[in-house]
Amino acid sequence: MDLATMTAQLERLRADALAAVAAAADPAGLDAVQLEFLGRKGALTEVLRGIGGLPAEDRPRVGAVANDVREVVEAAIAAHGVDLRGAAMAARLAAEAVDVTTPGRRIARGTRHPVAETIAAIDEVFGRFGFVVFEGPEIEDDVTNFQMLNIPSDHPARDLWDTLYVDIPDHLLRTHTSPGQIRVMRETRPPIRALLPGRCFRYEAVDASHGFEFHQVEGLMVDEGTSLADLRGLLDEFAHALFGAGRATRFRPGYYPFTEPSVAFDVGCVVCDGVGCPACGRSGWMTILGAGMVHPVVLRNGGIDPETYQGFAFGMGVERIAMLRHGIHDLRLFMEGDLRFLGQFR
C-alpha cells in the first residue's frame, strides 16, 4: 500500500458516498448511507485500516485527506437531510391540506315567532310610558277570572266567555288576561302601570279568525286622577307606533262588566286606510282592543280605595294585531309551527 493508492481509494470513497447521499430518497435511506460509509465498520474505517502499511511520514497526509472526506460527506448528509425533511413536511402539508376558503356548514337559525315578536313590540311601546310586565297563571280560579272582575256566577255576562273548565274544582283555563289586574292590584300599590301578556283559552270552534288558544296583552294603570283622556292619549301613541304615525283612531262605546265606561278602540283600516273595503266590512275602521275605566267594584276587589284612585285597563288580542301588522289572513297559521310560514319573520 502506498500514499497514491490510498489517496485514490479515499477520493473514490468520497465520490461514491456523495453519489449515495444524493440518491437517498428518505431519512432512513440517509441513515443507511451514513452507516455504510462513515460507521464504525463502514468503508472509511476499512480504508484507514491500511494506514499502518504506510511510511510514517505519509500517515498524517492520508489522515488529513480522510478527515476531509469525512467532513465533506457529513456535510452532504446533513444538507440532504434538511432537504428530505423539508420535502417530507411539504408532502404531509399537501396531503393534510385544509381548504380554508370552503364555506362552512351553516347552523340553521330559528326565528322569533310572530306572536312573541308582536308581544315584544307592544311591550316596547308601553315600556316607554313606564309600564312593567307581569304574568299571571294560565290555570286561573273562577273567583279571579270572573267574580272579582264583577262577573257573578249567574250573570249573563259570562256568556261573553266560552270557557274551558279543568278537573280542579272552581278552576279553568283563563279566558282572558284580565284576572291579572286583580293579582297586580293585590301584589303592588298605586301608582300601577302593568302590562300582562299571556296565553288565553276559550271553548271556540276553530276557523280563520277564531282559536281555542290565543294570546292577549292586558294593560292596567291605577293612580290618582287617572282619566279616560289619559287612556285615549296612551292608546293613540300605541296605534301610531304600531300602525303608522298618521293612523286615525276612535273610541266607540262598549261593554265589559269590569270597566265603566267601557270602549272599543278602533284604528283606520290598515288595508284601505279608511276608505272602506272587505277587510273592514266597508266601515273604514278596525277594532283592535277593548278598554275602559276600571270599575270601582274591581278596584275595591283589588284592595284599592276608589275614592282616592282611578284606573284604566285595556286588553288586546295579540294574534289579531300580528295579522294586521303582517297581512296574515288565517289565525291557525300561528299554532301550526309550519317553517314556511315562520321563516318569513326574520
Tell me whether residue 114 or residue 315 sits nearer to ligand PHE (CB atom).
315
Q: How far is the CB of 219 from ligand PHE (least distance, A)?
A: 8
Tell me whether residue 70 or residue 202 sits nearer to ligand PHE (CB atom).
202
Please list, in sequence order, all residues whose beta carbon lies within 8 angstroms of the beta carbon of residue 107, skipping any fewer than 6 positions away.
none
Tell me whether residue 178 or residue 301 sits nearer to ligand PHE (CB atom).
178
Q: How far is the CB of 243 from ligand PHE (least distance, A)?
A: 19
* Cell numbers describing residue 160: 261573553
Q: How far is the CB of 303 from ligand PHE (least distance, A)?
A: 19
Integer Cα distance of 59 and 2 in angstroms? 10
List the one residue out of 183, 186, 187, 175 whose CA is nearest residue 151. 175
Q: How far is the CB of 271 from ligand PHE (least distance, A)?
A: 23
The DSSP-derived string for 316-335 is EEHHHHHHHHHT---TTHHH
Q: Are strands 213-223 and 192-201 parallel, antiparallel or unpaired?
A: antiparallel
Q: How far is the CB of 195 from ligand PHE (least distance, A)?
A: 12
Tell me whether residue 62 or residue 291 sits nearer to ligand PHE (CB atom).
291
Q: How far is the CB of 156 from ligand PHE (least distance, A)?
A: 15
Chain residues that interact with ligand PHE, rule: CB under 6 A: 176, 178, 218, 256, 259, 290-292, 313-315
Tell me whether residue 9 or residue 259 sits nearer to ligand PHE (CB atom).
259
Q: Which residue is nearest to ligand PHE (CB)?
A: 315
Tell me whether residue 73 or residue 290 sits nearer to ligand PHE (CB atom).
290
Classify 310 in phi/psi space as left (phi over 0), alpha (psi -120 to 50) or beta: beta
Q: How far is the CB of 307 from ligand PHE (least distance, A)?
A: 21
Q: What is the number of other CB atoms lying within 10 angstroms of the CB of residue 281?
A: 11
Tell me whether residue 21 or residue 221 sits nearer to ligand PHE (CB atom).
221
DSSP SS3 for 295: coil
Q: Phi and psi (nearest 5°) for 127?
A: -60, -35
DSSP state of 88: H
* Cell numbers describing residue 129: 310610558
Is residue 282 within 8 A of residue 247, CB to CB? The reply is: no
Is residue 158 within 8 A of residue 196, CB to CB? The reply is: no
What is the four-CA torsion angle of 54, 60, 66, 69, rounded to 10 degrees? -140
